[in-house]
Amino acid sequence: MTGIAVIGCGRIGRMHAANVARHPRARLVAVYDVVDKLSNSVAEETGARAAASLDDVLGAPDVDALLVASLTETHAELIERGAKAGKAVLCEKPIDLDIKRVNRCAEAIKGLDVPIQIGFNRRFDPGHSAAHAAAAAGEIGDLHQVIITSRDPGMPSRDYIAHAGGLLRDMTIHDFDMARFMLMEEPVEVFAVAQAMIDPELGRELDDVDTAMIVLRTDSGRMCCINNSRASVYGYDQRVELMGTRGMLISGNRRPHELRRFDGDGTAVGLPYLNFFVERYAEAFMNELGAFIDAVEGRSPVAVGFEDGRKALLLAEAAYRSLASGRAVKLSELAGA
Amino acid sequence: MTGIAVIGCGRIGRMHAANVARHPRARLVAVYDVVDKLSNSVAEETGARAAASLDDVLGAPDVDALLVASLTETHAELIERGAKAGKAVLCEKPIDLDIKRVNRCAEAIKGLDVPIQIGFNRRFDPGHSAAHAAAAAGEIGDLHQVIITSRDPGMPSRDYIAHAGGLLRDMTIHDFDMARFMLMEEPVEVFAVAQAMIDPELGRELDDVDTAMIVLRTDSGRMCCINNSRASVYGYDQRVELMGTRGMLISGNRRPHELRRFDGDGTAVGLPYLNFFVERYAEAFMNELGAFIDAVEGRSPVAVGFEDGRKALLLAEAAYRSLASGRAVKLSELAGA
Amino acid sequence: MTGIAVIGCGRIGRMHAANVARHPRARLVAVYDVVDKLSNSVAEETGARAAASLDDVLGAPDVDALLVASLTETHAELIERGAKAGKAVLCEKPIDLDIKRVNRCAEAIKGLDVPIQIGFNRRFDPGHSAAHAAAAAGEIGDLHQVIITSRDPGMPSRDYIAHAGGLLRDMTIHDFDMARFMLMEEPVEVFAVAQAMIDPELGRELDDVDTAMIVLRTDSGRMCCINNSRASVYGYDQRVELMGTRGMLISGNRRPHELRRFDGDGTAVGLPYLNFFVERYAEAFMNELGAFIDAVEGRSPVAVGFEDGRKALLLAEAAYRSLASGRAVKLSELAGA
Amino acid sequence: MTGIAVIGCGRIGRMHAANVARHPRARLVAVYDVVDKLSNSVAEETGARAAASLDDVLGAPDVDALLVASLTETHAELIERGAKAGKAVLCEKPIDLDIKRVNRCAEAIKGLDVPIQIGFNRRFDPGHSAAHAAAAAGEIGDLHQVIITSRDPGMPSRDYIAHAGGLLRDMTIHDFDMARFMLMEEPVEVFAVAQAMIDPELGRELDDVDTAMIVLRTDSGRMCCINNSRASVYGYDQRVELMGTRGMLISGNRRPHELRRFDGDGTAVGLPYLNFFVERYAEAFMNELGAFIDAVEGRSPVAVGFEDGRKALLLAEAAYRSLASGRAVKLSELAGA
């Protein structure tokens, strides 16, 4: 049994705490939030202890690992402090909004022999991971194209957007990781178009975008297109398509159930897709946790490491440079980044 | 080139005439209807001659074959006269509503060596025929169950129903043939339930039903269920499911095109199905004609013969006896029929 | 929190115990099996106490309710003893294989005011229950036809079959309940065909069947066809189709995930369906438990009561009589049963 | 009836001739090819006369319109000569591989009041045109993203490729037109990545590519991604996806029929898609012809005009510049083109 402390008891932290609590190989030892009320509430729900301070958590011998679900700006520090305290860390994405901070964090933990996993949960989605596995096994021959459709079901609040670091660092970051996962080669070039199409005013005020298309290219010529939107009225749209010389794979959307309606207006009418990531990626979050426990227990290497988190952020950086310049940006241009 | 005369220039005859006219191996030589206006109109559309009389057609040396699409009560006589005049006959279903008349017709044409094909066009539908071929080739192992869904898109007129001979002889007759085609063994027992559910009043007045379920059983134990309705608001519903020891085959419905709509009310919303048999079975009618021409030209035996027409009607007879008696009726009970 | 004891710690009991253990409104108080080893093992897994005897369970004040998952022959007695001890009972189907024993049980518990729920879990499947709700709300107009496809993924062991009471009481019993649930009227007549198609030898030895089609009819004319097979190689096949004057609903199968493969052999190739009931109806079992807790807590009436269990068995009885007689059997003929 | 002469009797010309011959409002008056054998053969098949020369066709009073299906290098001249002879022209794409030649052609026909239609047949595909119509009618709100998947079923011959003018002018030209049709605004910027992935050697020898991703952007911010491949082993892959503020539309692929197979290896297995454009766009070609006849008969304006042909080629030009420069190319940069 791996003893885990969840840091950050907001919406995501609460979900992670519940997952840890019911995972057969984990024990939810402690929860912590800077807001006492939140940690107390999650502690009560799960039976874990509400830690009084971060030091309390880091010093606790029954805590083998941290699950970091606090605000983005605390991630890098928590990774550093956790690693130095000898705790394994599963940290929500992104590591930081600033690539320089990420690089300093990489320096700080260099040589520390603890598993650090970044929360790119979608790699653990049963459909997406089966697609990856099939392509990796050569079932579709040589891979040529990847199309990632990733559309959130609705605009987040202005407040959320103001602190999220921009669409490409906040939302597309998952798709950059998915692109790397599926391409099975490093992208060397990024081209992006993006605009505030859904809420132009918000775009002007917060200088953010809500709709994007991004093309990635690897050295061997593999191509990937990411389609993003903040507001898909038909539900959370999460598809991955892999096209190769011997076939195609599509990992499709899921509905709450498989009832279909047929009438004079239409046939085979399914429900809107599962609303958002908590529902759509419920299995993925549990599988992610299982993979982390495997790494903590030394059964397998870390599935999605710190460097994966850094590289996804680098792709976001490149995409932003492409947006600014209107040209494809080579990753090598960010070498100093 | 096979010279064909179409007898009967109503809706179905008109469609057949157009098919013959554009078939690469057929020539539409003549058309005939007791109503001059109809034959003239179809003649004008197709460039064929409007025959003055049936004798005219039967005596014409350029007429190799008749395509009989006239009223049901004329079918048996036209088969007899055509066959005696040495013409091949493709006759619309049913041969007659009265099994005794069908039997007399069988006697009358015994020994006449002309191809007689009955218009069970659905056997020639690309999907249904591929299902049959796959099952016949053993792709699903031993066949155990057949489910035939067959629902018309709307109630026909009272006048039509009054002369149609009852749901089971008029509409289900196609499904009885499909059952024989797919079961690949003769049904030995029939059980039917049926009721005027859509239009109870019409049921009372015309003593007909509009909704039915019929179970057929073969000697080896294969089972078939036919589901009928006169009024499917989502379009013409024509499905065949074959279940065997090694798999299942479903020949599904077709839509006018493959546009799907996704919004807050539903996902993957397709159009209602193709409205009715002229659209749904357009390819089947052409393929049926091709098979008939093959038989006329001696390239292949008749695909759906007179006896197939008779046996489908026998199944309808058995189903009506089952309705009346509330028990399964053995085909052997109709031996004298 | 409702205190629940699970009786019977075989495969199903173990699953129920795990469900109770993680249900937010239930406490798994005790588990019991005549085989100590089994109860100890489940107790260890769940943290519940292994009861020393049934009396121990029945006398325990912290046990509000029994979840009976023991052998079928013990069901009726456990319902009686539980009810008399003032415990609510959620009992796996069937109540008993012998309708007379069921009737005696009904007598025995008459007037005892405790919730008795029968384990027809499929009513709680999200897709099936949404289909029922939509039809009950009139979304497809007047209901005319129900088609229930229910095929197990493979033959059970000879030993299982020898004690299961026959296909129609063991497996179809779920479909009889589903038919009643979806028809929303009592069936008044049953016709069945069935045969040992998959394993004829087993059929001869154990006098059982493995393949069946059953037609039910209600007084107003609604029709239902159940298609059963013990061995569906493409996975557990669980579909319900409802056809009405204003539309159709199909509650379809589920796959482990939504990956589709496209290559030269086929397109849109999905995985085989979820293998069996534990996977396919995982949500249904949890929802069933939630509904039971609602009833125990007095929030809502029992969703599937003792009488539902009895009526499903009556339909099985009628179906067996139909098999024996080759005719449709009226439920009224079983009035003395 | 519109009298039509088909110029060019290769594979496409033969198909067009057959379409004209069976179109109810057209008469196939003449066919012409520089290779006598070809025109004679098509003439024989269709009953049309084989014209002795182009002048013969242009001077014939019964020829109202030309359908130009000859080699690309003859298109511009035939448009000019036809228009000057007062004949309407339906010309296969592209107008020419050289944008300068296209511009000269535009000059040459300026002021000539005859319908000139370019053969972008896909606009007339029932699914694609319904998608366009629905989006144009506002059914998905404001349009934000278009994804066009367009993959041919296999590499053409080296000889074909050597004369085709490059993937983007030969194959993607259809998708550029589809993008303009679906975006309902002019693209102002193009970014392309492309490579010889399927046949790198061919790529080196003929300096062509076989795999591409192209992103287009309109002034208001609408985005379009085109995915191209020369070799899709699962059949001709032709999909269009439109995403807007109120929903999404996907016009999907078609199969020869709707048979699905279910077994231990997979479920809902459909046939590979229709092999190539002659099959997939059979209805589209007929509808295109109908629209052309409408224009010739003055019933409606030309649906896809000369300028549409020119603009698709401009997009190809921009895409090639993007390939060469690695940056997004503005259409305004080609102003002098």
For the four alpha carbons of A185, A188, A193 and A198, in that order, the dihedral sign comes to: positive
Mean pLDDT value across residues C119-141: 98
Contact C294, C117 (CB under 8 A): no
Chains in contact with D via at least 3 Cβ–Cβ pairs below 8 Å: A, B, C
Instruction: Point out the domain boundary residue: A114, A145, A161.
Output: A114
Low-confidence stretches of chain D (pLDDT beneath 50): none
For residue A144, which residues of chain D lie inside 8 Å, CB to CB? 197-198, 211, 229
Chains linked to B by 3 or more Cβ pairs within 8 Å? A, C, D
- D39: in domain: yes
Determine the Cα–Cα distance for residues D127 and B260; give it in Å rounded to an integer: 9
Per-residue confidence (pLDDT) for residue A336, from 0 to 100? 64
Residues with Cβ within 8 Å of A190's Cβ and at least 6 positions away in sequence, in order, are: A214, A215, A216, A315, A318, A319, A322, A328, A329, A331
A-chain residues near C266 (CB < 8 A): none
A254 touching C, CB under 8 A? yes
Q: Are residues A209 and A180 in the same domain?
A: yes
Q: What is the CATH number of the domain that holds B79?
A: 3.40.50.720
Residue B337 has pLDDT above 80, yes or no: no
Give C336's pLDDT tier (boundaries 50, 70, 90). Answer: low
Token pair 């594979």: residue:
D11
Query: Is residue C337 scored above 70 in pLDDT?
Result: no
| D180 & D310 share domain | yes
Tell me the pLDDT band of C202, cut-offs 50, 70 and 90.
Answer: confident
Reported as half-sphere exposure (CB side, CA atoms, 13 A), residue B6 has a value of 31
Sign of CA dihedral A136, A138, A139, A143: positive
Closest Cα in chain D, distance from residue A248 (Å): 8
Residue B285 located in a structural domain: no
- Helix (H) / strand (E) containing A199: none
End-to-end CA distance of chain B: 39
Rounded (5°) CA angle D208-D210-D212: 105
Q: What is the reported pLDDT for C98?
A: 94
Q: Name the residue facing B234 among A234, A264, A273 (closest C-beta).
A: A264
Q: How far apart are CA A250 and CA A148, in angstroms?
A: 10
Q: Is residue D322 part of a domain?
A: yes
Q: Does C24 touch chain A (CB under 8 A)?
A: no
Q: Give me the total of CB pairs closer than 8 Å, taking one residue from chain A and one from chain D.
A: 105
The answer to whether the beta carbons of residues D117 and D308 sit under 8 Å apart is: no
Which H or E run contains B273?
Answer: none
In this prediction, residue B275 carries a pLDDT of 83
Distance CA C254, CA C271 (A): 9
| Cβ-based contacts of C197 with chain B (< 8 Å) | 142, 144, 221-222
Question: Is the same domain home to A256 and A136?
Answer: yes
User: In the prediction, which pLDDT does D202 show?
Assistant: 82
Q: Among the three residues A52, A82, A114, which one is the final residue of a domain in this structure?
A: A114
Whether the CB of A134 is below 8 Å from some CB of chain D: the reply is no
Distance separating alpha carbons of residues C101 and C165, to the nearest angstrom: 14
Same domain, B126 and B68: no
Q: What is the pLDDT of residues C50-86, one digit of tens each?
A: 999 999 999 999 999 999 999 999 999 999 999 999 9
Q: Are A59 and A165 in the same domain?
A: no
Assess whether A8 and A42 both reside in one domain. Answer: yes
Cα angle B248, B250, B255; round to 5: 160
Distance, in Å, from the CA atom of C333 to the CA atom of C315, rounded to the nearest integer, reads: 11
Q: Is D272 on the interface with B (CB under 8 A)?
A: no
Residues C217 and C194 in one domain: yes
Number of domains in chain B: 2
Per residue in A199-251, pLDDT (tens digit) is 999 888 999 999 999 999 999 999 999 999 999 999 999 999 999 999 999 99
Minimum distance, in Å, between the CA of residue B272 and any CA atom of chain A: 5
The answer to whether residue C80 neighbours chain B at the CB level (below 8 Å) is no
Residue D281 belongs to some domain of the structure: no
C17 assigned to some structural domain: yes
- Beta-bridged to residue A239, according to DSSP, are A149
**What does the pLDDT read at residue B333?**
93
Assess if residue D285 is contained within a domain: no
Determine the average pLDDT of the residues in A264-281.
91
Please check whether residue B18 touches A, CB under 8 A: no
Say yes or no: B86 and B20 in one domain. Answer: yes
Q: What are phi and psi of B107, to 5 degrees?
A: -60, -45
Residue A71 lies in a domain: yes
The string of pLDDT tens digits covering residues B179-232 is 999 999 999 999 999 999 999 998 889 999 999 999 999 999 999 999 999 999
Span A297-318, pLDDT tens digits: 999 999 999 999 999 999 999 9
Residues 26-65 of B with CB under 8 A from C: none
Residues of D within 8 A of C268 (CB-CB) are 268-270
- Which is it for strands B266-269 and B259-263: parallel, antiparallel or unpaired? antiparallel
Q: Which residue has the tokens 């609408």?
A: D222
Predicted ipTM of the assembly: 0.95
Q: Which chains lie within 8 Å of chain C at 3 or more CB pairs, if any?
A: A, B, D
C-beta atoms of D256 and B126 within 8 A: yes
Question: Average pLDDT, stretch C237-259?
Answer: 97
Q: How near does any CA of chain B get to the CA of C105, in Å? A: 33
* Domain enclosing residue A33, as ranges: 2-114
User: Do B139 and B270 reside in the same domain of the chain?
Assistant: yes
If we measure between CA atoms, which residue out of A47, A56, A52, A50 comes closest to residue A27?
A47
Mean pLDDT calculated for residue range B41-68: 96
Are D117 and D292 spatial neighbours (Cβ–Cβ below 8 Å)?
yes
Are both B209 and B79 inside the same structural domain?
no
For the whole model, what pTM was predicted? Answer: 0.96
Last residue of a domain, one of C55, C86, C114: C114
Give the pLDDT of residue D271.
92
Can you spell out the DSSP letters for C163-183?
HHT-HHHHTHHHHHHHHHHHH
Cβ separation of C193 and B191 shorter than 8 Å?
Answer: yes
Interface of A with B in 158-187 (CB under 8 A): none
> Is D267's CB within 8 Å of C253's CB?
yes
Percent pLDDT > 90 in chain C is: 94
Q: Give the one of B235, B253, B266 whose C-beta lies nearest to A269's C-beta.
A: B266
| 3-state DSSP helix/strand/coil % of chain A, to nearest 5 | 40, 25, 30
The HSE-up count of residue B88 (CA atoms within 13 Å, CB side) is 22
Among the partner-chain residues C246, C253, C260, the one whose CB lies closest to the CB of A258 is C253
**Is there a domain that residue D293 lies in?**
no
**Pairs of CB atoms within 8 A across C/D:** 56
pLDDT of residue D336: 63
CB contact under 8 A, C247 and A263: yes
Give the model confidence (pLDDT) of C279-301 as tens digits. 999 999 999 999 999 999 999 99
Chain-centroid distance of CA A128 in Å reads 13
Residues A7 and A68 in one domain: yes
Contact C263 D235 (CB under 8 A): no
Task: Give yes or no for A257 touching B (CB within 8 A).
Answer: no
CATH of the domain at A231: 3.30.360.10
Residue of chain B nearest C212, judged by CA positions: B223
Contacts (Cβ under 8 Å, ≥6 apart) of D34:
D70
What does the pLDDT average to over C78-99? 96
Give tens-digit pLDDT for B89-112: 999 999 999 999 999 999 999 999
Is D248 near chain B, with CB under 8 Å?
yes
Measured in whole angstroms, the distance separating CA D139 from the mean position of its chain's CA atoms is 26
Same-domain status, A61 and A126: no
> Within an 8 Å CB–CB cutoff, is residue D273 touching chain C?
yes
pLDDT of A337 reads 57
Give the nearest partner residue to C267 out of D235, D265, D267, using CB atoms: D235
Name the token pair of D33: 């090819």
Residues of A in Cβ contact (< 8 Å) with C130: 257, 259
